[in-house]
Structure 1
Amino acid sequence: MSNGILVAEGNQLKNRLKAMWMAGDYDRFSRYMESGAREFYERLSLAPGCRVLDVGCGSGQLALIAAKDGLDVTGVDIASNLIDRARARAQAEGLTARFEEGDAEALPFEDGSFDAVVSLIGAMFAPQPELVARELLRVCVPGGTIAMGNWTPQGFVGQMFKTISKFIAPSGMPSPVLWGEESVVRERLGAGLSDLSLTRRLYPFTYPFSPAEVVDVFRLYYGPTNRAFASLDAEGQERLRTELEALWASHNRAGAECTTVFAEYLEVVGIRA
């Protein structure tokens, strides 16, 4: 296969991924995840004035938490509508933070531009993980912090993706949840780090409504689930809904009218060599 064909196919995949993340309303979806983002951020103990890059920043969830702490924050995401929303949120809250449309596989920044490069459930979804790893390392200063939060294959979200994958065609990219495997992270990032800590954590999904209504939230607002349902006929949509409702109900720690599910992710914290 010629390089031209490979590049064209890669561009088509990237365009599909961009459209997927622009679907729904991730800003609204992410508001239910703020407590877990704050827990992740606070464990990093970043110094005031630290230059931080948030890769796959979405509508600014993690970046705005850091900006409120006085950090020098830049967010980058492939979805232009989410960058617009992040800018609007920063302006509305009177926060100084920059947001740019960009690709985790080709970050638009000079080498060593940031003291900390973080990605909470973001960069893991880029289709060429070896390029992502290279870029995270490249834009971080020696001695700086690289941190990721990545869903694990065994955890709840990994199971949810597995359920959805039974109904839709393969994406043509490595499974994003491989970033949740310790051995894979060591292989991808280890050579560029002087220290690496890997810890399995639980991310709280808490909603003041039933598991069935949670599935509705994911279907309406979360891009991957939104696009999965849109690709199915009525029968397929009903089967997917039934399986997802059963998955949420079986993991629910709250009563029938509320939903609390804990989703495992791998917390990656490294020091740039």
Structure 2
Amino acid sequence: MTDTLDAVAADRALKAKHRAMWGLGDYPSVARDLIPELGRVLVEAAGIGRGERVLDVAAGTGNAAVPAALTGAQVVASDLTPELFEAGRESAARAGAELTWEEGDAEALPYGDASFDVVLSCVGVMFAPHHQRAADELVRVCRPGGRIGLVSWTPEGFVGEMFTTMKPYAPPPPPGAQPPPLWGDEQHVRDLLGDRVTDVVARRQVVTASGWPSAEAWRDHWKTVYGPTIAVYRHIADDPDRVAALDRDLAALAARYDRGTDGLVLDWEYLLLTARRV
């Protein structure tokens, strides 16, 4: 009993930490200015239509939920960090979309079995620490014959390499936690979903991010807007040498990926995967 209580307490503490991390910086600006097209790509790939019941898991500010609602679907945007919902509601209002926003843990979704026709996640569920637990929830709340659609950063792409670059400077992950970019590996996702799905379609694509004059400018901007990066810098804030080293490593990463001629241009690779629930 004591071990069970300790595990529950540890999970609550971990989720509270994740919630706080995604509330750092200005993730709404990242979603709005850098990756707005990802949600539209996912909605189209999932074939969402009018009247369908749709759940966007780890929805953030609704990159997928808002375009899904614009199809006429009945959409619930669920996220562990409800502080992001205000920006999401503003985005939905500008677009003329109506949907529901509800706090929820991707590893313990507050919905019944087979509640939705389509279950989506756009660079969201990949950050749940326990991958199998989160995948089980995606499948559980999707009705038989329904669809699951995912967009995840790949391990080999820019964002995946960014997490690899930051790892030596970050605190050790909690027991059982897996790296987020593994969701960008097709075989990993197939293994997570197993024989509970069929008709799996997966392809790698890129979203292009630009608007910074240099690799250093991207790094300095990223240090102020992206929660995971802010959290790593806070972890090493008392060690100027490590801060300087991470500064160099992140700028070098961006410079290596830069394909621009007048300002920084970065291609961020992601895995787009859809499947049908058996």
TM-score (norm 1): 0.93
137-146 or 40-49, which deviates more: 40-49
Show the 5 A alignment for 1:1-273: 2-31=3-32, 32-172=34-174, 173-233=177-237, 234-255=240-261, 257-273=262-278
Structure 2: 5+ residue stretches without partners: none
- Give the aligned CA root-mean-square deviation in angstroms: 1.8
Assess, with a 3 A threshold, how the Cα gap between structure 1 residues 118 and 174 changes in structure 2: closer, same or farther: same
Distance 1:39 1:260 in 2: 21
**In the alignment, is the contact (CA less than 8 A) between 2:119 and 2:148 conserved in 1?**
yes
C-alpha displacement of 1:182: 2.2
Structure 1: 5+ residue stretches without partners: none
Tell me the matched-pair count.
272
- Aligned residues: percent identity? 36
Deviations 1:51-99 (A, max 9, x none): 2111111111221122223222110110121123212332344321111
**In the alignment, is the contact (CA less than 8 A) between 1:190 and 1:196 conserved in 2?**
no
C-alpha displacement of 1:49: 2.5
Distance 1:211 1:77 in 2: 31
Distance 1:204 1:145 in 2: 27
TM-score (norm 2): 0.91
C-alpha displacement of 1:131: 1.5
Amino acid across the alignment from 2:22:
W
C-alpha displacement of 1:125: 0.7
C-alpha displacement of 1:208: 4.9
